[in-house]
Amino acid sequence: MTRKANRANDFVQMALDRGAVSAKMVKPSSVITAAWVRWKCQFGCDGFGTSLVCPPHSPTPEETRRVLDGYRRVLLFESPRGRSRKIAVTLEREIFLDGYYKAIGLGAGPCELCETCAFDEGCRHAELARPSMEACGIDVYATARGNGFTIDVVRTRKDPQHYFGLVLVD
């Protein structure tokens, strides 16, 4: 972009240009954190403990709440399957380079960048790896629905699936 993005429309267009299905600027208070989300990772998700960006290594819901409360604006977006982390990282970098030095992105799902995580050496792809919203204790269903997006429990393989990511802007 030739000028610094500022208006909500600028960020939304940026997200759409990078592959988001839809996007909105939302308030951090509308991003819902909950203690139970951690349990859903720990009991029932085979991604638990498999990478540095999943629980128990990722931020707790309480820490995430404190971080969210330090921002004014969040870019929340829906993405095609398997693209939310990449879109979040791309937006994070562009928004950061645009002058918003606090920008940080979150995606969806476990880290798929390595076959096995490099726990002892530290992350091999720190510039690309980001936790998912749910790995940070965010209730993705309540957050998406509360901001006017559609997301339902997937009961069969034929059901529509919805994936989300966000960028904390400033």
Asked if omega into 56 is within 30° of 0 (cis), the reply is yes
Q: Does 56 bind ligand SF4 (CB under 6 A)?
A: no
Closest C-alpha to 107, from 29, 148, 47: 47
Give the single-character DSSP code of 60: P
18-37 positions binding ligand SF4, by CB under 6 A: none
Complex with ligand SF4: residue 47 or 146, whichever CB lies closer: 47
CB of 78 to ligand SF4, least distance (A): 23
Stretch that binds ligand SF4, among 27-35, 97-105, 116-124, 146-154 (CB under 6 A): 116-124
51 binds ligand SF4 (CB under 6 A): yes
Residues linked to residue 166 through DSSP beta bridges, in sequence order = 76, 106
Looking at beta carbons only, is 1 or 128 nearer to ligand SF4?
A: 128
Whole-angstrom distance, CA of residue 143 vs CA of residue 8 = 18
Of the listed pieces 33-41, 81-89, 117-125, 154-162, which binds ligand SF4 according to CB under 6 A? 117-125
Compute the distance between CA of residue 72 and CA of residue 70 in angstroms, rounded to an integer. Answer: 7
